[in-house]
Structure 1
């Protein structure tokens, strides 16, 4: 080998700032006819850095497999509700907490037909809120209550630590009434509409149908009586208020709030004005965020006014949507004289309710 060739091989330069070693081939007694001048020797010159890199790689692989495990475990728990599997990787759950079903930390307990579904959907815009899919009816139905708290917990959605789970069952507010009327048909339950709140929620399209029995072959079938209007159901023929009419009875809110205040302190309950929720949802939701201890995240960017429907619809980062057609609907016209009479009737009851909640909601009495 010529001296110049040898000098060229010995002059191989190691790139700066790299932990790899470049050597002249002559140092390894390379064959003469190999055209390459230098070879790369695989090795590490900084053991601590190598250890750090290996640690990062192993932790990344560990977390990846853990995420796959969590997904499979949650899917399995959903299918085996009665016998959920306990976690296997206890250490990993400390490093990477998994979602689980938790008992609700807040409950929307009433009242019917006053915007409970709308309120729940609005709160669900908050990233730290999870909601039950439907009305659970745990506390007001013996058949559900007897299944125990574990059954109740399994009706809740998966949530992460720090998130708040909320369920809503409006009939909780009138629990004793609901427990004595479970034989009502679904149609009968649908017409239990509170008529308070400034007389804005009256219905006059109620239909009553007799229970069908076995028809006699000897007697002709009796004709179905014409449906009664709201006015006929709310008032007696002499014009006095039918206080036993259920939609009126469950609208005397102070009768039911008394029972709740015997169990829960006032500061654990938040009264939301349904009328303001319709007119200015953001202000009411900010009030609820503070009550629940949540960071303020819901704002005007989450709503837009639908001119066709006449109320606010919801908006998030990915889509816009309104509640289904049965929500936010305009209520039928009621005889103004009946409305005035009912407002006077509820005036005294509303004042008692204001005293209990410590707030005048401003429902008109005339």
Structure 2
């Protein structure tokens, strides 16, 4: 940098002031700060200050230090400005996300009335869990009647993808020793099912056991009840046939001694159904069970008529599909069982089941050949049942059209 003497020599001389004025402006400072007359730069006009401040640095190290401080100050200033701008952008983004989350939670709360909790949104955004099967108490029961096709009906309904069935007759409601075990024991006997499927159990003796209606209502007052019936005389003969097949087949080589009558299983149906005086033997179990109205009124005292569907077992054997469509509607199921699920077995004389993987017929004990019964006895029994059938028709609100002779 030029010295003071050199600067003095280079100044213009047009408006040169006396040396005393120059010296009066000069100051001796560490940073070589020099006050110069303004007239040294340009002509003075008006009332201006007499001196101008000129700052110079004559030491290189000091100049480098000042430059470093200046650059550091600029860097820090820009860094603070950058951080402040970045913070403002992030804050605005978070505020926008929080606002969106609140809107989502409010919409979900207004639709599903869920608990307004900070974790609620996170829970809803998780992937849905895979459904797991569980054992559930039955939502429908086949309550009877014995020898009217309860097993066939259960297997047919099992063709529906939304139906699960208990594997055997549980006899929970009609046997005191089982009922005493409680509902959890009963649940353990049910099959695994998914939510939305219907679990069905069948035990034909439910229909005729007095305690069962109240016990069933205690389990589930909205349970759906399926009652399958057949023409009473045909049902009684089928019942007799099964009882005889279960008896010991061996017959005595010699006539029994007096006082030892033949067991019922060894007697013909006519001798059991008709008393020696010619009247109908209403104490004979197969005849008594065919008096449907005597048992149905107990169920109607506990359950409304709409919860009981009467299935015509004779029509189910002849053509299963129409009857199954009624049952699907009654159970609230979509129609899935059709003619593709059945084929007629000429040997057995009834329909067998078919699904996508296999064909299935009921076991050999089903569809046994009935013994020949005296037609006069059949006619007499049918005339006897006319009034009882009519009472049953009145209870169910439907005439099933059973023969009267």
Correspondence for 2:161: 127
* C-alpha displacement of 1:236: 1.1
Cα deviation digits, residues 68-100 of structure 1 (max 9, x gap): xxxxxxxxxxxxxxxxxxxxxxx9995112000
**What's the secondary structure of 1:270's corresponding residue?**
strand
Determine the structure 2 residue equivalent to 1:25. none
Deviations along 1:164-209, whole A, 9 cap, x unmatched?
Answer: 000000000001399xxxxxxxxxxxxxxx9961522315655497
Matches within 5 A, 1:333-352: 333-352=372-391
CA distance in 2, matches of 1:222, 1:330: 33
Tell me: CA distance 1:105–1:151, structure 2 relative to 1, closer, same or farther (3 Å): same
Q: Helix, strand or coil for the counterpart of 1:98? A: coil
Whole-angstrom CA distance in 2 between matches of 1:139 and 1:352: 26
Distance 1:278 1:265 in 2: 28
Are the equivalent residues in 1 in contact too, given 2:210–2:298 (CA < 8 A)? no
Q: Does 2:263 match 1:229?
A: no
Does the C-alpha gap of structure 1 residues 328 and 92 become closer, same or farther in structure 2, counting only changes over 3 Å?
A: farther
Q: Secondary structure at the match of 1:309?
A: coil
Q: 1:257 aligns with which of 258, 273, 296?
A: 296
State the shift of 1:329 in Å.
2.5
Provide the rounded CA distance (Å) in 1 between the counterparts of 2:300 and 2:331. 19
2:286 to 242, 247, 254: 247
- How many angstroms does 1:237 deviate by? 1.4
CA deviations on 1:271-307 (whole Å, 9 max, x unpaired) are 0000000001000001100000001000000000111
Rounded to whole Å, the distance in 2 between the matches of 1:160 and 1:93 is 19
- Check whether the contact 1:306–1:312 (CA below 8 A) recurs between aligned residues: yes
Show structure 1 runs of 5+ residues with no match. 1-90, 179-193, 211-219
CA distance in 2, matches of 1:112, 1:332: 18
Q: Report the Cα distance in structure 1 between the residues aligned to 2:359 and 2:166, rounded to whole angstroms.
A: 21
Q: Which residue of 2 aligns with 1:269?
A: 308
Name 1:176's counterpart in structure 2: 210
Shift of residue 331, structure 1, vs aligned partner: 1.6
Contact 1:195/1:248, CA 8 A, preserved across alignment:
no
Query: Which residue does 1:291 correspond to in 2?
Result: 330
Verify: 1:166 aligned to 2:223, yes or no. Answer: no
Aligned partners of 1:101 and 1:159 also within 8 Å: yes
Classify 1:221/1:351 alpha carbon distance in 2 versus 1 (closer, same or farther; 3 Å): closer
Distance 1:288 1:104 in 2: 16
2:53 maps to which residue?
Answer: none
Any conservation in 1 of the 2:148–2:229 contact (CA below 8 Å)? Answer: no
Give the total of aligned pairs. 253
Query: RMSD over aligned Cα, in angstroms?
Result: 2.8
Output the CA distance in 1 between the equivalents of 2:179 and 2:310: 26
Computing the radius of gyration from Cα coordinates, the structure with the larger value is: 2
The unaligned stretches of length 5 or more in structure 2 are 1-124, 213-227, 249-256
Say whether residues 1:363 and 2:397 are aligned partners.
no
TM-score relative to the length of structure 1: 0.65
* Superposed counterparts of 1:193-232, under 5 Å: 197=231, 199-201=233-235, 202-203=237-238, 207=244, 225=262, 227-232=266-271
Q: Secondary structure at the match of 1:354?
A: helix
Mapping of residues 56-95 of structure 1, within 5 Å: 95=129
- Equivalent-residue separation in structure 2 for 1:136 and 1:99 (angstroms): 21
C-alpha distance in structure 2 between counterparts of 1:343 and 1:223, whole Å: 32
Offset of residue 262 of structure 1 = 0.5
CA distance in 2 between counterparts of 1:127 and 1:195 reads 25
**1:133 & 1:348 partners in 2: Cα distance?**
38
- Using structure 2 for the length normalisation, give the TM-score: 0.58
Are 1:279 and 2:318 matched, yes or no? yes
Distance 2:313 2:190 in 1: 25
Change in 2 beyond 3 A, CA 1:177/1:260:
closer
- Tell me how far apart the structure 2 counterparts of residues 271 and 312 of structure 1 sit (CA, whole Å): 21
> 1 or 2, which has the higher helix percentage?
2
Provide the rounded CA distance (Å) in 1 between the counterparts of 2:373 and 2:341. 34
Tell me how far 1:228 sits from its aligned partner: 1.2
Counterparts of 2:129 and 2:294 in 1: how far apart (Å)? 50
